Amino acid sequence: MNNQEMKNLVEEPESSSAKELPSAERAERLRNQAARLVGISLEGESECGHVCYNAVLDMLEKNAVQYLPPSKFVSRKSELSNDKSSREIVLDGASTLKVRDKRPDLSCDTSSELLLVQALHRRALALDLMNAVTFSVSQRYNSFLIGHLQTPPPPGYRKLNVHQILQADKQAWLRLAELATAGLKRNAAGQLPLDVLFQNLQVDPRVMFYLLPLPESSGGHAVVAAECGLQESIDVDHMMSRKLRAPAIKLDLSSAKRIRTGIIHSVRSSGDLEMDNALYEVTQEELRTGWLHGPYRPSDLSESATVTRRFAVRQNNKIRPIDDYTESLVNSTSASGETITLHGVETICATSALMM
């Protein structure tokens, strides 16, 4: 590698630096937003810092979803109080050194429910102002998240905390990144792609998994079992090591339809025609032998029915069907009273020597 190639690697042309929303355009957009969102507070803790708009603008310039954590959406008041001007030296495309303002890396506290609600509100306003997501769509999603903080947990389980909400929010944005393959610009019908995708997050099983209440550290096993309607259990013969593990969740049949809809909508081709055809043939064979029944239409299922997505994996030159009972939350409803202790090689050798 010669000197010129090395210089090309380390140079950062000025045009490649992160863009900022011009002040005149920002002011005009704020006036239009205030006229549209009548009754919505845009002042005080609801007033977004300028860095909030720049973060959304950066995502739109790349035309690809990137995670925008609520902690990055600071208020304008906080931005002004932390405005410590700093400069940095950069090498532009003309091989000249320039001194420019360094963009501050600000963040806000989201450790409490109130602070999280305020940060989510500012993010919704910033997304709306930059024409990334309509404010009403963002707020509906925010209410969905915050509503889980107010939901009483089942007996033997802990109430959801802010950390779980943030984890679910991050997973939701990762899911958006997977689904927004057509970019973030308005389509021919005038719709924002993220408006449509945001509405499906509330039934996405990958997001719902992070919004499940966690069991208490101790106790509650018998209560939860009774609540789930488990009248009988396999006897424990005490031959194995004792292991008491309560079900990870209480199966709430009232939400079965929502979870079922999300799983059905997530089914798609694997992209491998051979694997898809093999999976179809295996499923048809199980139908013929009586292992499975169907097919059923979604309208044929009861309100409390659960569905499990099937996919194929290639193992040792064979294609095997896998039923994802983790995604459908079926695995999380089981419990065990004993565990098998596996012996090492030395135990097997000692047993063999004893028998010789």
For residue 320, what are its two tokens?
């095997």
Q: What is the pLDDT of residues 239-258, one digit of tens each?
A: 445 554 545 455 556 667 77
Winning range, highest mean pLDDT, from 251-265, 275-289, 304-318, 340-354:
275-289
What's the pLDDT at 225?
Answer: 42
DSSP secondary structure string for all residues of 26-70:
HHHHHHHHHHHSTT---SGGGSBPHHHHHHHHHHHHHTS-----G
Q: What is the pLDDT of residues 153-204, one digit of tens each?
A: 888 788 899 999 999 999 999 989 888 888 898 888 888 989 989 988 888 8
- Residue 70's contacts (CB-CB under 8 Å, 6 or more residues apart) are 108, 110, 116, 119, 120, 122, 123, 166, 169
Model confidence at 14: pLDDT above 60 = no
Report the candidate in 334, 84, 139, 317 with the shortest Cα–Cα distance to residue 221.
334
Q: What is the pLDDT of residues 15-71, one digit of tens each?
A: 445 578 899 999 999 999 999 999 898 999 999 999 999 999 999 998 989 999 999
For residue 284, what are its two tokens?
């048809």
Instruction: Tell me the average pLDDT across 344-356.
Output: 72
- Packing angle between helix 135-150 and helix 162-179, nearest 10 degrees? 140
What are the residue boundaries of the structural domains of the chain, listed by start?
A: 3-153, 242-338
What's the pLDDT at 137?
Answer: 94
Instruction: Tell me the average pLDDT across 129-147.
Output: 94
Q: Which residue has the tokens 């059905």?
A: 264
- Residue 322's contacts (CB-CB under 8 Å, 6 or more residues apart) are 310, 311, 312, 313
DSSP secondary structure string for all residues of 295-330:
---GGGS-TT-----EEEEEETTEEEEEE-TTTTTS
Q: What is the CA radius of gyration of the chain?
A: 27
